[in-house]
Amino acid sequence: MGVSKSIRDMKEKLDMDIRLLAMEMDVSANGIRYISRHSLDDAFLIENFDSLINDIENGEGIEISSISDNAVMYEYLDQTVTVYTTISQKSLFFDISLSRKMERRMRGYISTT
């Protein structure tokens, strides 16, 4: 089973409007998927999620714009993704068509622990 979830299943509160996020990402609000560090329960997946976010923010991703104080949009894998960061939460939002690619990328990191 995949680790990405539908935005409708998100329990965490966001300080941004999901419709605005969808419009900025040029996708349907119902088609937004996410992976949240908070929702991962496996230490290896958490470490891999952190590595994926680091690659997006500091390597392979190209920053496009800020949607809010906590959300930054990037071009990654020729698509638009958004990294949402607060003190207690880090989440990655993307179009449903990227679900498998993002999960494969995340699972592809080799653990350093």
The predicted-structure confidence for 34-63, as pLDDT tens digits, reads as follows 999 988 988 999 999 999 999 999 989 999
Domain assignment of residue 27, yes or no: yes
Look up the domain containing 101 and give its range. 5-105
**In this structure, is residue 13 part of a structural domain?**
yes
Q: In this predicted structure, what is the pLDDT of residue 59?
A: 86
CA-based R_g, the chain, Å: 13
Q: Does residue 112 sit within a domain?
A: no
- The verdict on residue 111 lying in a domain is no
Buried b (16+ CB within 10 A) or exposed e, 60-98: ebeebeebeebbbbbebeebbbbbbbeeeebbbbbbeeb
Query: For residue 111, what pLDDT band results from cuts at 50, 70 and 90?
Result: low
What pLDDT does residue 48 have? 93
Q: What is the mean pLDDT of residues 12-35?
A: 88
pLDDT-based confidence at residue 112 (cuts at 50, 70, 90): low
Percent of the chain with pLDDT strictly greater than 70: 96
pLDDT band at 73 (very low <50, low <70, confident <90, very high): very high
Rounded distance between C-alpha atoms, residue 57 and residue 41, angstroms? 23
In this structure, the number of other CB atoms found within 10 A of the CB of residue 108 comes to 10
Q: How many domains are there within the chain?
A: 1
Establish if 37 belongs to a structural domain. yes
- Residue 110 falls inside a structural domain: no
- Classify residue 96: in a domain, yes or no: yes
- Token readout for 66 is 């800020």
Instruction: Establish if 69 belongs to a structural domain.
Output: yes
Measured CA to CA, the distance from residue 49 to residue 76 in angstroms comes to 15
